[in-house]
Chain A
């Protein structure tokens, strides 16, 4: 069992995949003038599949919307 403290190195580069998790499935989605946001994520999923998906042959969705739930004392619906 090991742990990593990401900020031990101030100029440590953020892993691209962590960034893409947030920039392609998080963030506010606005259509924009070019109708890009949604269409382009689909495009990225398709075009980068060869790069990103393991060779397992799984065709699961890349960067599906994040699943969010509030954390509260009442607990979450199961």
Chain B
């Protein structure tokens, strides 16, 4: 029997109902998922083969985007199952312990932190809000340069500069609209969300979607306001040309699963 490691997905408050739910769930490496308890908190864990998840093995496998995607989706699917039943503190990808005893030790050491976080995040969901510029239409008709076509042919330099300046103006318009959109979303969020997190902008091959990502935010919203939040964000952003907004979620509170930084505590967040 090969050595096994404990892949940890999330911290929750344990219950027999939750154990029952997990009994037919499969996680990373198609392994079953169990709760490791330490009094009032528990970690959802899978027993995974060391040859695949040891430090050295991970270094090699994390180079492999397909492997990374498989593990990320499996991790997320376990978090989602738990989220349907209880408050969840998702852990970062690929957090591994040697055995259950070490998981228990970690839970014991951080029980107070976890309990406070679980209390703070109870009955909240995370929404992702992304803004994209629509791919620009470079062939938009522009004012003919003074002097008409003849001048455009005889003075290609001027026509070129005119085109450049039109493009720059169009781009400035889009940025102005984006600023306005962010302002509107922020106004809605202040009514409904209790916390805001900013992710890096998405770019590159994985970014998908047409256009350029100009905002990538997450909001922590009380569950009973979740639908209202999404509807109001989508409604508030209507009618701004050249932009597209995408709302993702509701997510488990991934972006808020750490103690709030002390310097951001301007009084207690609204409950």
Contacts and interface: CB of A to CB of B under 8 A. Distances in A.
Interface of A: 1-6, 14-30, 32-37, 40-41, 43-44, 47-48, 51-54, 56, 60-64, 66-77
B264 to A, nearest CB: 5
Given A1-B238, A19-B73, A32 B128 contact: no
Contacts of A69: 195-197, 264
A53 to B, nearest CB: 5
A24 B265 CA distance: 24
Contact of B255 (A17, A66, A70, A77): A66
B76 A72 contact: no
Given A1-B238, A19-B72, A23-B72, A29 B96 contact: no
A72 B269 contact: yes
A6 B265 contact: no
B270 A67 contact: no
A66 B94 contact: no
Nearest to B80: A14
Contacts of B54: 34
A70 B206 CA distance: 29
A4 B76 contact: no
Given A3-B237, A18-B128, A36-B55, A51 B204 contact: yes
A73 B198 contact: no
Contacts of A64: 200
Contact-size category for B = 35 or more
A28 B258 contact: yes
B251 to A, nearest CB: 7
A43 B90 CA distance: 21
Contacts of B194: 70-72
B203 A32 contact: no
A24 B208 contact: no
Nearest to B53: A34
Contacts of B89: 28
Contacts of B241: 1
B25 interface: no
A43 to B, nearest CB: 6
Interface string B232-260: 00100111111111111101001111101
Nearest to A35: B55
B190 interface: yes
Contact of A32 (B97, B238, B258, B260): B97
